[in-house]
Homo-oligomer: A and B are copies of this chain.
Amino acid sequence: MNRAIRTDLAVEAEQLWWESAPDTSALPGVRAEESAVRGFSVTTVEILDARGEAALNKPVGKYITVELDSLVRREENTFGDAAAVLAETLRRLILLDSTANYLVVGLGNREITPDAVGPAAVDHILITRHLKQKLPEAFAAFRPVSAVCSGVLGTTGIESSDLVRAVTDEVHPVCVIVIDALASRSLERLCRTVQIADTGIVPGSGVGNARQALNRETLGVPVIAIGVPTVVDAATLTLDLAARTGTQLDAGGFGEIGSMIVTPRDIDKSVRDVAKLIGYSLNLALHDGLSIEDIDLLLS
């Protein structure tokens, strides 16, 4: 696998592995399957053991990817369908218990558009923990949900992982759900793919760097990660092109490229739209019997 090509998506890591080993017939320690749900393509990549971890450079666990292509085509009612598919996928991974307490975390920097998916999604989460405490009967139909945006190291001086652990220890949720922007290898996935994983998130990717991970080891409870690719590293795009065309790159000519990203021209709107979709999906997953219209009303 070409590790210089950066991707946070397990489905792409698997594809890269096959590209790098074209003559191999099996990828040991990894199980992948694809299906179609309500017209959306859903891919599950399961990393089973250390062999899979080594091959895909991601920890053992389930990574489910939903492709939102039809959302982009603005077909009628697609928002509701996409939210339903994501909610069903989330319910496959989140342990739902009627008395349990859930903490949603928006990672990333709200002031940097391609990094704002997490905080923007949190704006669409129904916050119910305090209401259930004060009016348990009126809110009997809801599970208690709280949410925070962790900010970023540069604006808080505190590692996101430390801040989230402190809040987790305070709130005692049965499960933490983190939402973050990802990097992808392919342009066509930008703001159109959602990855849901039961492994938590290891910022900076890779199996190492455990200290800053947001996962069961560091937070003490299961961590579900919802991620959306919003950028392709310009370096990745270049390397990918070079690899496909068999070109030898002259690194000197692309010195600036390290700090560059490739995004959709309408990234501001795309991030806003996908953040809303994630917020609504999570509301549908965490509470029983809600409709999109109910959420509209409750958030208004």
Contacts and interface: CB of A to CB of B under 8 A. Distances in A.
A96 interface: no
A156 B170 contact: no
5 contacts: A148-B158, A158-B171, A238-B241, A244-B253, A261-B264
Interface string A237-266: 110011011011110011111011111111
A76 B291 CA distance: 13
Contacts of A170: 158, 162-163, 165-166
Given A167-B166, A261-B262, A268-B112, A256 B297 contact: no
Contacts of A231: 265
A149 B163 CA distance: 12
A113 interface: yes
B158 A267 contact: no
Interface in A150-202: 151, 153-159, 162-163, 165-167, 169-171, 186-188, 190
A268 B260 CA distance: 13
The winner among A157, A167, A237, A266 for most chain B CB atoms within 10 A is A157
A156 B144 CA distance: 11
A247 B241 CA distance: 10
One complex includes copies of this chain to the number of 4
A273 interface: yes
Interface of A: 74, 76, 79, 111-113, 127-131, 144-149, 151, 153-159, 162-163, 165-167, 169-171, 186-188, 190, 231, 234, 237-238, 241-242, 244-245, 247-250, 253-257, 259-269, 273, 297, 300
A277 to B, nearest CB: 11
Nearest to A75: B297
A259 B266 CA distance: 8
Contacts of A167: 158, 163, 166-167
Contacts of A238: 237, 241
A261 B131 CA distance: 25
Contacts of A153: 130
A145 to B, nearest CB: 6
Contacts of A263: 260-261, 263
A163 B187 contact: no
A80 to B, nearest CB: 10
A259 B250 contact: no
Given A158-B171, A300-B74, A262 B265 contact: no
A291 to B, nearest CB: 11
Nearest to A266: B112
A156 B166 contact: no
